[in-house]
Structure 1
Amino acid sequence: MSSARTRVLTLILVCCCVAAVGIGIGVARWPSDAPSEPPATTATTATTATTAPGGGPTGSGPDGARYTLAKMAPPGADAGRITTIAARGDDLVLLGTSKGRVYAVDHAKGDAATLVTTTKLGAVRRIRVSADGGTIAVLGENGDLRLLNLSGGTPTDLDIDVNEGPGALSPGGDLFVFGSFGPTVVKVADGSRSTLPEKPVPDGGRSAYEAWAVTGDGLVRAAGLEGVETWDPADPDRVGETVGCGCDARSVSLNGDGSVATFGTADGHAIVIDPATGRVLADKTIAAGESPGIWAATVFGDGRRAAAGSGADVVVWDVQGRRVLWRHTFPDYLVTRVDAVPNSAALLVTTIELDEKLDTPGERGTEVWLATPAP
């Protein structure tokens, strides 16, 4: 993660069994003088929280789209607290705990939690899921990395510098890539590694990479606040152009196959680009006026919807039409992460409690919400 800010990795899961909905049509470039959306405060009346199944609030966006929020407790008293989560589509949720365990909650099998795997030492720091849903990567807080096929077989165990992760799996789950400055590519089947050369440092320096991806044709991408770098493993020493947003970025993410990058900016914009060409696919004003900036942004798998967090607000929007589909405010919390669920229209939202609302200063409460489109 970038040294420019502190990420909170202790999470509490939120989930809900709701069917995914189809999402809009392809992306396009907008004229630079296109009118921006109204400030965030003008749209919050559309997301007044009500009681949803499981105790989570639900709301509707300006176009009438409804999303449901729900949260889940740890699977048992001896499981430890939830430290991270991931999801595979709308059927399976994976919970990582402070005791180094990973549980699967399968909605198709009655929502019962089953133990999937464990880390060697300490808490589970992050779980990654391949786009095809068949492989997971589990990173422990001490740098132990387990690559596991969910259908069975012997896991591949590695030790890495925990600050070099959490990395990402290729769409088919056969490769895992990680690394803060020079990516390392791991073959999941046998754990063999190859390290790609570092790119030249751009003018003004470079922050650590925050997002990684392997494209469908085998290119490796890594994204930092300065832009997206691409390596061709067949010609790893070739120096390509750093593709950025031309903005003062505060966050960056890549979709599952690295075909779309989303930057969150200091002045409240979410900018979606094509890393192959640098073409701006969308530039959306998420928070106008006295914006705290966009510290979390993500694009869904096919690039048709995106989401961003600014202050206490989370927004889901249609990339082509630039319409806000859903907006929600978390009272007394700040949004610190947004993560699109692979093969789903669902969104994971991580929040952290404001210090001034706590009985014990410095002990922040963290929750993760799964927002799913309501049927």
Structure 2
Amino acid sequence: MKQFYLKQFPNEEGYFGKFGGSFVPESIQKAMQEIDAAYNLIAQNSDFIAELRKIRKHFQGRPTPIYFAHNLTREYKGAGIYLKREDLNHTGAHKLNHCMGEALLAKFMGKKKLIAETGAGQHGVALATAAAYFGLECEIHMGEVDIAKEHPNVVRMKILGAKVIPVSFGAKTLKEAVDSAFQSYLKDPHNAMYAIGSVVGPHPFPKIVRDFQSIVGIESKEQFLEMTGELPDIVIACVGGGSNAMGIFSGFIDDSVELVGVEPLGRGEKLGENAATLSYGEEGVMHGFNSIMLKDSKGEPASVYSIASGLDYPSVGPEHAYLHSIGRTKVATILDKEAIAAFYLLSKKEGIIPAIESSHALAYALKIAPNLKGKKILINLSGRGDKDIDFIANTYGYGEVY
């Protein structure tokens, strides 16, 4: 692996190896080029950098801490378990890291409106928060299935002033929310900006979102060295589109640290019962970028499922596809039931209620920890579980069996 990876990837056309690029209509390609040019300009602007640093410190509450999970470590009698507490970032997840950056970029470009999709609602809440901060309109597209499951976040978005658009076609989840948001954006790309919610989509968004999320990796590396005097042996994060994972992975790509992305295996290996894209998918173009995707018998995006609304996406960020293809990252899978068990364990053993998405990463760490005595595992706890508690309690009770 060459050094200074982040400065080398993607290339000017937005490719990570053969993955990435921009496969969109010419009218939208012009808008993507406009966004790319504006981002490249402000990314070198000391005033923009200073403004973003001020926002992170005084509005978001960064840096978020790393916490040594002493009770879980003691119980599992193996590796030391550490959590990067992105659940303590303002709005309760890592999503605000790129949303404040995207909104600042939109303001610089003279845009009046932000449009986005959301699955679990964390990106929607974060973008609605950023829109309120910068005085922009905000329109969030969300599948009806996720609206019912993630009701607390729907309420938060509306209170923050966002217009929530229910998506009632197809599976009524994240993929359809992306389709709907793109359709809305196509109507007025001059005044609006589509603020993509992960390291997916046409170039330059996989790069932009990764760069804004890289603060997680930068902080993690500095904090872990300060806490322990060395780097973690393994860094683990859940992967749907992959923004939280690329955020923390970016701090360690050039180091001898094992990086593991944990995908949702849902109910099992059968197509339509999971959203484990890197594990079972193949190369394909979707939503304007080339990556690995789950396909049906006709070669179209397959139906996917995960108990975690933020992970049920049939593709994955092109950078994840590239890093996995060259062997720099490993991929693991976790079933719904394993994620729920981890959700309750962290809540009851450490007093931290995690998002169901983050619980996938935690579940894998707990699975391997007993056999890694003397090692140190760092997990990106990408979000808190406030949004999930009604669904969890109504479906599983209060975890008496865990």
Q: Normalised by the size of structure 1, how large is the TM-score?
A: 0.29
Structure in which a larger fraction of residues adopt strand: 1
Q: Normalised by the size of structure 2, how large is the TM-score?
A: 0.28
Pick 1 or 2: higher relative contact order, CA cutoff 8 A, min separation 6: 2
Structure in which a larger fraction of residues adopt helix: 2
